[in-house]
């Protein structure tokens, strides 16, 4: 579908969408929990003692003071210099005084919101909320029908529609798959236009150069209804993920992204990519020290650019397969690193980003157990944001349509698990127990009948029928059922309502910037 066709389709459906969508949700056979914020009621698991956390913290400061970190980009060095950091004009290596780092930590906020164009999709970081997000930045996509293929705009749009259709997805943290058939100079413009129209969630801006960063900031303001710069700075409406170039290097585009998003009050997720045994020490303690040191430099840069700028601690420490050197995810080491990262984050009082990841190449049993391990770690580690929670395959090299809905069912089970057990006169069931007595059953009691539809979690994908019924229905595997399910969700998809004037403003901006040539940051 072309952009013009897509825009026209959105205009035709914008009026009266709410009633139609409500009817679709009421009649759909897809079992989903309602949209809305989920609070994590689980007490975090802490594999490290308080003394060990302090040891890692001080070791991180020692790395930054004795070894230092390379900071590329004149703007980042200028920000640090203005804050009193000693910067050698002939070197990119900066060594940081521990007292300086400690001071910058104090100004980072512990809670803030990410505002969406639909206020009901605005999310809060901190305060115990946990937000699950889809796969991001995969170069390939896959499904049972078309196999594995290079990312393209059609798959990008369909994955975006699927994300919008899944109630457990909170916001867009990046391209679900890279639409490589769009010119790289204008790709970010077309992608953010699709996010603006195909979803009503908040979305992400890649920090890949000044022009792309500026375009994302400008478009986010337009999507919020053309709000003032003052309101935009006070109401974060855009997120960027900044990956340090581990070990101990911050590239120029990433540093620029931190600065510009901080100056405009927008959210930066600073995420070192510390694979133990490859880009970080082979020991978990050493990898955590390096992850922490690199994060603290990103946090310091944001706070120097604008004290109080919203920053999220991004943890992504895992290990490599020592035989092949390939990244491994969903491992015991990954789980411990996620939980320990949560401890470090709580020490600094900022929100925490982790990931639901796996190294499997197809949505098989390995994919399920590794993703389950990862997702369980994020819940027990106290993550506020769970990136790559649905659809991630091959260590991030592929986005799977089928796995997107498989993971969504798993996420819903975790969301249901996090709800506290209600203990009240109504739930204790004393009348039902007295009515049934010894040797009876509870199928027909008033308590059971009143809760017939709501007593237990109803899965989207799991098949709980007996063998004979399942066999008579075609003996379909979970993978086959997932293929049917994602297609059903796409067939039921409706574009979210959008004001026609806002849609025109987005189109005018994107079309103008494309006509100007888009971004030449990477030329």
Query: Which of 49, 71, 79, 16 has the alpha carbon at shortest distance from 303?
Result: 79
> CA 445, 446, 452: angle at the middle one, nearest 5?
90
pLDDT tens-digit readout, 275-291: 999 999 999 999 999 99
What mean pLDDT is reported for the chain?
94
Query: Which of 295, 335, 303, 301 has the alpha carbon at shortest distance from 318?
Result: 335
Rounded to an integer, what distance in angstroms lies between the CA atom of residue 408 and that of residue 460? Answer: 8
Q: Per-domain residue ranges for the chain?
A: 3-13+108-419+501-514, 421-450
Q: Please report the pLDDT score of residue 249 as a whole number.
A: 98
pLDDT of 134 > 50? The answer is: yes
Q: Please report the pLDDT score of residue 241 as a whole number.
A: 97
Mean pLDDT in residue range 412-440: 95
Q: Please report the pLDDT score of residue 4 as a whole number.
A: 39
Q: Please report the pLDDT score of residue 376 as a whole number.
A: 98
Q: Which residue do the tokens 């391990």 mark?
A: 373
pLDDT tens-digit readout, 7-64: 333 333 333 334 344 444 445 679 999 998 899 999 999 999 999 999 999 999 999 9
pLDDT tens-digit readout, 169-225: 999 999 999 999 999 999 999 999 999 999 999 999 999 999 999 999 999 999 999
pLDDT of 345 > 60? The answer is: yes
The pTM (predicted TM-score) of the whole model is 0.93
Rounded to an integer, what distance in angstroms lies between the CA atom of residue 200 and that of residue 215? Answer: 19
Indicate the fold that domain 3-13+108-419+501-514 takes in CATH: TIM Barrel (3.20.20)
Q: Please report the pLDDT score of residue 523 as a whole number.
A: 65
Q: Please report the pLDDT score of residue 453 as a whole number.
A: 87
Q: Please report the pLDDT score of residue 313 as a whole number.
A: 98
Rounded to an integer, what distance in angstroms lies between the CA atom of residue 237 and that of residue 114? Answer: 5
The DSSP bridge partners found for residue 134 are 390
Count Cβ atoms below 10 Å from residue 202 Cβ, excluding itself: 27
Rounded to an integer, what distance in angstroms lies between the CA atom of residue 53 and that of residue 288? Answer: 10
* Distance of alpha carbon 398 from the chain centroid: 16
Rounded to an integer, what distance in angstroms lies between the CA atom of residue 67 and that of residue 94? Answer: 9
pLDDT of 265 > 90? The answer is: yes
Relative to beta strand 275-276, strand 123-125 is: unpaired
What tokens were used for 483? 């293929």
The answer to whether 312 touches 270, Cβ cutoff 8 Å, is yes
Relative to beta strand 93-94, strand 69-71 is: antiparallel
State the pLDDT confidence band at 5, using cuts at 50, 70 and 90.
very low
Query: Residue 350 half-sphere exposure, CB side, CA atoms within 13 Å?
Result: 30
Answer positive or negative: Cα dihedral of 322, 69, 105, 272.
Answer: negative
Rounded to an integer, what distance in angstroms lies between the CA atom of residue 413 and that of residue 416? Answer: 5
The answer to whether 197 touches 502, Cβ cutoff 8 Å, is no
Rounded to an integer, what distance in angstroms lies between the CA atom of residue 152 and that of residue 150? Answer: 6
Q: Please report the pLDDT score of residue 447 as a whole number.
A: 93
pLDDT of 397 > 80? The answer is: yes
Q: Please report the pLDDT score of residue 36 as a whole number.
A: 87
Q: Please report the pLDDT score of residue 27 as a whole number.
A: 52
pLDDT tens-digit readout, 349-363: 999 999 999 999 999
């Amino acid at each position: 579908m072309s952009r013009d066709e897509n825009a026209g389709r959105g205009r035709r459906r914008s009026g009266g969408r709410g009633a139609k969508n409500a009817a679709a949700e009421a009649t759909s056979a897809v079992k989903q929990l309602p949209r809305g914020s989920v609070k994590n009621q689980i007490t975090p698991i802490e594999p490290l003692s308080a003394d060990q956390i302090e040891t890692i913290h001080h070791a991180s400061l020692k790395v930054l003071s004795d070894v230092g970190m390379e900071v590329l980009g004149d703007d980042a060095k200028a920000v640090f210099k203005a804050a009193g950091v000693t910067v050698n004009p002939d070197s990119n290596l900066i060594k940081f005084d521990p007292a300086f780092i400690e001071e910058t930590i104090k100004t980072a906020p512990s809670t803030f919101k990410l505002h969406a164009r639909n206020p009901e999709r605005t999310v809060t970081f901190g305060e115990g909320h946990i937000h699950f997000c889809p796969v991001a930045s995969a170069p390939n996509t896959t499904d049972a029908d078309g196999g594995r293929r290079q990312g393209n705009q059609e798959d990008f749009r369909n994955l975006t529609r699927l994300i919008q259709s899944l109630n457990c997805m909170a916001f867009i943290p990046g391209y679900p798959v890279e639409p490589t058939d769009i010119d790289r100079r204008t790709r970010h413009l077309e992608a953010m236009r699709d996010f603006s129209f195909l979803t009503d969630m908040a979305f992400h801006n890649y920090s890949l150069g000044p022009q792309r960063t500026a375009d994302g900031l400008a478009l986010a303001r337009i999507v919020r209804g053309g709000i003032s710069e003052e309101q935009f700075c006070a109401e974060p409406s855009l997120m960027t993920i900044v990956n340090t170039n581990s070990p101990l290097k911050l590239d120029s585009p990433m540093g620029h992204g931190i600065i510009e998003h901080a100056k405009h009050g927008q959210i930066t997720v600073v995420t070192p990519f510390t694979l133990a045994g490859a880009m970080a020490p082979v020991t978990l303690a050493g990898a955590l020290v390096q992850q922490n040191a690199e994060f603290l430099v990103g946090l310091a840069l944001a706070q120097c650019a604008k004290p109080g700028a919203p920053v999220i601690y991004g943890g992504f420490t895992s290990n490599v397969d020592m035989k092949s050197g390939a990244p491994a995810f969903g491992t015991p080491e990954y789980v411990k690193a996620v939980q320990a990262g949560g401890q470090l984050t709580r020490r600094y009082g900022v929100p925490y980003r982790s990931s639901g990841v796996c190294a499997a190449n197809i949505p098989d049993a390995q994919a399920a157990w590794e993703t389950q391990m990862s997702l369980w770690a994020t819940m027990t580690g106290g993550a506020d944001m769970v990136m790559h929670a649905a659809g991630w395959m091959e260590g991030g090299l592929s986005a799977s349509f089928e796995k997107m809905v498989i993971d969504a069912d798993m996420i819903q089970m975790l969301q249901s698990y996090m709800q506290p057990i209600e203990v009240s006169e109504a739930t204790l069931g004393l009348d039902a127990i007295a009515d049934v007595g010894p040797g009876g059953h509870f199928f027909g009691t008033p308590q059971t009948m009143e809760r017939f539809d709501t007593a237990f979690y109803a899965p989207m994908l799991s098949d709980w029928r007996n063998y004979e019924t399942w066999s008579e229905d075609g003996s379909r595997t979970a993978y086959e059922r997932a293929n049917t399910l994602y297609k059903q969700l796409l067939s039921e998809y409706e574009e979210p309502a959008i004001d026609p004037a806002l849609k025109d403003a987005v189109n005018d901006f994107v079309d103008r910037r494309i006509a100007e040539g888009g971004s030449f940051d990477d030329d």
